[in-house]
Amino acid sequence: MPLKQPAVVVVGLAQLVLRVFQRVADWENCAVAWAIELVDDCAVVTMNTNKVNVQNDSFFADLYDAFDRLERDFNPYPVVLTGQGDVFSAGIDFQYSFNIFGSGDPNKIREWYRNYRATNLRIFQYPRPTVAAVNGHAIAGGLITALDCDFRIAARKSAKFGLNEVPIGIPMPAAYVEIIKYALGDQVGALTTLRGLLYTTAEAEKLGFFHEVVEPEHLLATSIRWAKCITSDCNTAYAMSKKALQDGVMLQIEERTVALDAILAEGMSDEGNRRAQDRRRREIMKDT
């Protein structure tokens, strides 16, 4: 019996080492989730937090990490933001978010919104040219992520686009309304926000969601061309002009929308809204 113990120890140690390496690998994957590749002097960022880029704490952390790396390692370059497969981003993670809304805890809801708001403003205010290479479905918060970018190029394929928050019991945050109006104009912004319909690629193109729609094989090249609308020596001119264009929007967001969004927690956990959210949750569970 004693002769077998070293073998057991070795096997146990090997398993332990394997688990440690797996933990390290998992940590590294979490720490640098979004791929950033320099392509033709353009930083191409591929969102890959999860299969369809539903937006939750992990997504927010990955976005912040990616933009920290862009500022540090890719500072002179314009940015193209894209997704994987047939989905750009499916919007908020319903299971994650609805649990927070249903908690009835206003502090949890406010913290959720603070994180969500900060990620969108991080993209919206980035001083370099930003292009959303919309490779597929962009729904609710996923479409807002695309609207945060200066320009939007979409692949011509079967996909859905829209801001369907209101019909599923989620009040549109006032800060996002300002971004939507800036990107789409007041009339289309009101239409898409209040009706909450999902549109085909052709319908979304007519509404002005995209600056150009191209065949899927041309999506990246076209997006890079739009991103390289200036040479790097004009970066300061671009940043100053972008800040000036967004000045009124940011003034509204920083001063005027604060009072409206202060009562957002009440709306998120409103009894009627919660019924709509639960109905949507059941639909999702039925489909999965």
229 CB-near residues (< 8 Å, 6+ apart):
78, 129
pLDDT at 20: 32
258, amino acid identity: V
**266 closest CA partner among 133, 194, 176, 171:** 171
pLDDT at 147: 98
Q: What residues form DSSP beta bridges with 91?
A: 54
pLDDT at 263: 87
Token digits for 207? 């509404």
Rounded Cα distance, 223 and 213, in Å: 10
Residue 41, Ramachandran bin (φ over 0: left; ψ between -120 and 50: alpha; else beta) = left
What is the DSSP code (8-state) at residue 40?
A: S
Rounded Cα distance, 114 and 265, in Å: 11
Rounded Cα distance, 70 and 78, in Å: 9
pLDDT at 35: 94
- CATH number for the domain running over 32-287: 3.90.226.10
CB atoms within 10 A of CB 75: 12
pTM metric for this prediction: 0.86
pLDDT at 14: 39
Segments making up each domain of the chain, as ranges: 32-287
pLDDT 10s digit of each residue in the chain, 288 long?
444 444 444 334 334 333 433 433 343 444 457 999 999 999 999 999 999 999 999 999 999 999 999 999 999 999 999 999 999 999 989 888 888 887 878 888 888 888 899 999 999 999 999 999 999 999 999 999 999 999 999 999 999 999 999 998 989 999 999 999 999 999 999 999 999 999 999 999 999 999 999 999 999 999 999 999 999 999 999 999 999 999 999 999 999 888 888 888 888 888 898 888 888 777 766 665
Rounded Cα distance, 215 and 144, in Å: 23
**83 closest CA partner among 152, 26, 31, 25:** 152
Q: Where are the beta strands (DSSP E) in 67-176?
A: 79-82, 87-89, 91-92, 130-134, 137-139, 151-155, 161-162
Q: Are 56 and 93 in contact (CB under 8 A)?
A: yes
